[in-house]
Every structure is written in C-alpha cells, then in structure tokens.
A and B are shown apart, each in its own frame.
Chain A
Amino acid sequence: MMRGPRLLATAAALACAVAFVPDTAHAHLVDTRLGDFYSGALHPLTDLQQVLPWIALAVLAAFQGAQRARWIILVFPLALAIGGIASLAVPLPSFGPLLGLVLVAVTGLAVAAAARLPLGVLLAIAVVMGLLHGAQNGAAMVATTDRLLFLSGMTAVGYGVITLATGSAIAFLHGAPWRPIALRAGGSWVAAVGIMVLGLHLVRPVAG
C-alpha cells in the first residue's frame, strides 16, 4: 500500500532535481512593471535553488533556539547585500553553482539531523549563502538596470523571507513532538534534492 506514495515522492524528488539543474538557473530578469526595486525583490523568488536553501537555513537556525536564530536575521540580508555589491566589481566564481548545490545539501542534511551547531558555524553558512546568492542575483542585472534599486529589492526580500521563515519555524517547533520530526523530514527532502542534483552536476559529461 505504500508503493503509491513512495513512487509519488520519488517522482516529486526527481522533478525538484530537474528544476535544480544549474543549467536551468540562468540569469533571468523579471519585469514586474513596478521598476527595478521589485524586479530585484522578485528575482531570487523565481529561483528554487535560492529560496529553498534560505528556508532550510531558517529552519536550521530555528533548531538552534531563538537566541541564536535571531542573528541570521541580521547577518543573512547583510551578506546578501554585500554579495550583490561585490558582483558589480568581481565576476561570479566558476565554482558558484557547485557551491550553491553544496549549500543546499549541507543545510538540508543539518536540518534532517536537527544538528546543534556552534553559532559561528551557523553564521558562516548564512554568510557564504548570502554572499553567493547576492552575487548570483547581482550578476543578473543588465546595463539598464538601476543597480541601487535592484540590490535594495533583493536585500529586502532576503530579509523578509529569512525573518518570516525563521519566526514561523520557531513558532512551529513549540508544541507537539511530531513538529520537529516534520521539519526534519522536510530537511531530508532538501538534502536529497541537493545531493541528487550535485551528483548530476558532478557526473555531467564535459562538452567538447
């Protein structure tokens, strides 16, 4: 009787994995008709490879307790902004997509394990993720983009998502004992998708 849901789960995981393949995560400016602030805000939200690890990071932070978790509300948006600004001067590193996938897998695994991390390690993950995603979003700007507005929008949405996800995860963890298990199960999914796509990325034959 369990085969149906399992098959469904496997299909969903594969679908996520396909959605995550780095080649599909190319630069994509989103025209919101509301100007570059909102384009910058919407840009990361259209990329599952960014939003999913943000939420995983927030859940991971929530597992550390509110006293530690609150630091990522400050650190992550700052790192995102710095990454975006850095993209104006420094080209994206070639290992960026690989690092992005590693971050997905690592945060997913840590959530699945409900790992208790030192604050420094948690913040290091937040900083690396913020810098990388900030740079990736910043690199999507074109010559006509108002950089200040775009980066402001990106930072604002990073702050909004990480704050809402962290607060929600902390609130969710208070209560019935199944709740941490549910979040850990979600983390295992993120880890599975990250590892699958990482595998695809590493074994992909080199063109030419």
Chain B
Amino acid sequence: MSGRAFIARAATAGTSAKPDAATSPAGGVRLGGRALLAPFAALGGLAAALLCLVVGLLVPATMARAHEATMAVITLREIAPGRFIGQWTMPPVDLSLQPIFPPHCTWEPPELVCGARGLTGQLSFMGLGSKQSVATIRVIPHEGPMEVYTVSAAKPTVMAARDPGTDLAVWRDLAETYVNLGIDHILRGIDHLLFVLGLIWLVKGGWKLVKTITAFTVGHSISLAAATFGWVGVPERPLNAAIALSIVFVGVEIVKLQRGEVGLTARYPWTVAFAFGLLHGLGFATALTTLGIPQATLPIALLFFNVGVEIGQLTFVAVVLALLWAHRQAQALLPRWGAAIPAYVIGSVASYWFLLRI
C-alpha cells in the first residue's frame, strides 16, 4: 500500500489572482458604414472584453472576504488491506458533517471497506458550510507514511490515488482526475485565455496560427514540466504579474499591427508564442505544485494535466474561430474607427491585473 498519493481535484483550482470567468471570443461587428472591415475586431469580443474588465474589477474584492475556518479531523487506520477503522480525532462542530468516500468503498462507521482497489478516488464531506468550513481525513496505512487530505468549502473534493503500476482502474482514476483538473484550470484561467485570444487576433488564421498555438503549447508544456518537477521555481506573485504583462504586450502588438507597424509578434509569431508559453506554463504549474503530489505519481499527473490543458485550449481556439467565421458570414464587423477598441480593452484589463498582482 505504499506510494499512495493524495491529489486534489481542485474544483476551485487556479492561481489566486485569476478571476473566475471565461472569455468570449472576438469577432467583429460592423454596424453600417462602408469602411474597410476589420474582421478580427468584433463587437462581441469587445463586449466580452468589457465584461472581463468588470469581472476583473469586481471579483478580487469578493474573493478577499475573510472566512472563519473550523477544523474537523477524522483518522482512518488500516487494519487489513482495504479495511479501515475510522475515528473523529477532532470532532466536528456541526454533527451532521459526514465524510463521503468513493463509490467502491462501504462506510459503516466506524468501519470503512474499500476492497482490493483500496482507498482511491474522490473524497469529500457532506455538510461543509458556514459552521464547518474545513475538514481533514488522515489515513494511517498498513505500510508507508500517513496521508492527509484536507477538504474545504472552497475546495470541496480531494482525490486519493496511488502509484498505478499495472492497475487499469487506478490509471483511469488518475486520467479522469488530472485531465479534468487541466480543463478546469485553463477554462477558469481567464488570463491564459485572453493571451490565446490575443494570439489568434494577431495571427488571424491558417497554418501560421497552427504553428503559433503549437509553439505556445510546446513552451508551456516544457515550463510546466520543469516547474512541476521542481527544476525551476518562480514566486507566484511576480509570475502572475508577468503573465498579465504578457497580455499587455499582446494588446500593444495588436494596436501596432492595426497601425500598419510590423511588431515583434507579427514578424516572429511562433518565437514570441513559445517564449510566453514558457511563462504561462509556470502559471499552469501552480495548480499542480500547490497540491503536493508525491513523486510516484507526478509524471503521470503532469501528463494528464497537460492533456486537459490542451483540450481546454483547443476547445477555446475552436470556439473563437467558429465565432469569427460566423461574424464574417453575418458581415457583423466593427467599423475601422472602432477596430482598436478591443485591443485597448484587453490591454487595460491586463494592465489592471498587472497592477493588482505586483
């Protein structure tokens, strides 16, 4: 039973400074006028970017509310493979609080029977709320060190896993957990999505876009791996500030392009995407490194997490491209005078985040 790992399936995963929202893609709305159309300047995108601004302005304030934490601890001692005896070592304030174990486990207090699969899968608590905001499950396995899982109202589920070996069920559990975590992380990471949106805007489409997005993917995969394995480490606050700054950079590049200037990104899109991919990958890694995943499952976790991030990113790119296509079909494009507004909105939002994060 050694080598177990506790892996948080963060329903609220993400860096602390990320607003919880998604970006609507850019398209273009031309409301009359015969001006030269700017096909990538969408009013929809403008509206979405303005929305992001509002979200960005308001969400951090609401997230910063103080929250009283009251701890409850239940300890599970493994008396035989897959069989545990549970006991509240720190009883809950709210007596209705009950642990929720994976479906293959049978919990008849004080006994927990999980069979050959052991205690693997999703753990949670029923009754977490204002009275009882944090609860911990401590597992003392038959062999190996004690494992501790903490569940809070903000992070309502935790995944228990072990070194998969050749056990297909454990592999499936790990894949489900980390692919979902990766998708969650990118979809909740408005700053990453805004950066990708900026790249699409700059590069417009075709093979150049494929190469640029691929370069971004390669870049963030490398730094994600490096940070997750502990080879590189950057403090979270300046990292998040730098990520915000990368979006400002993209905003500036868009404006430059619209003015007919050939900026760095227009000249070397994939190089810029790769470089900033390295930066954003460090940001992705915070979702994994904060979980404290043991070395045994780390490479697998990293692989599946990255797959999840790519699924989320490609879905986002597909939606943006579909919306751009739809805008062109409907001839819904911004007039020339308004084409730069979305870029300024993106730049302003990112600048605000930068100031907030330094």
Contact = CB atoms under 8 A, between A and B. Distances in A.
Contact of A66 (B43, B59, B323, B330): B330
A171 B329 contact: yes
Contact of B326 (A36, A148, A168): A168
A35 B188 CA distance: 8
Interface residues of B, dominant DSSP? helix
Nearest to B44: A159
Interface of B: 11-12, 20-22, 24, 27, 29-31, 43-44, 47-48, 51, 54-55, 58-59, 62, 184, 187-188, 319, 322-323, 325-332
Nearest to B54: A148
A146 B58 CA distance: 11
A71 B58 CA distance: 30
Interface stretch (A8-16, A122-130, A150-158): A150-158
A164 interface: yes
Given A67-B331, A168-B326, 9 more contacts: A33-B184, A34-B187, A35-B20, A36-B20, A38-B22, A153-B21, A156-B48, A163-B327, A163-B330
Contacts of A167: 325-330
A77 B46 CA distance: 13
Contacts, number: 96
A73 B44 contact: yes
Contact of A152 (B51, B187, B328): B51
Given A34-B188, A36-B20, A152-B21, A170 B329 contact: yes
A163 B42 CA distance: 11
Given A33-B184, A38-B187, A163-B44, A155 B330 contact: no
Interface string A157-198: 001100110111011000000000000000000000000000
A146 B187 CA distance: 17
Contacts of B20: 34-37, 146, 149
Given A163-B44, A167-B325, A156 B184 contact: no
A41 interface: yes
Contact of A33 (B11, B43, B54, B331): B11
B55 A148 contact: yes
A201 interface: no
A163 B188 contact: no
B330 A170 contact: yes
A69 B323 contact: no
A64 to B, nearest CB: 11
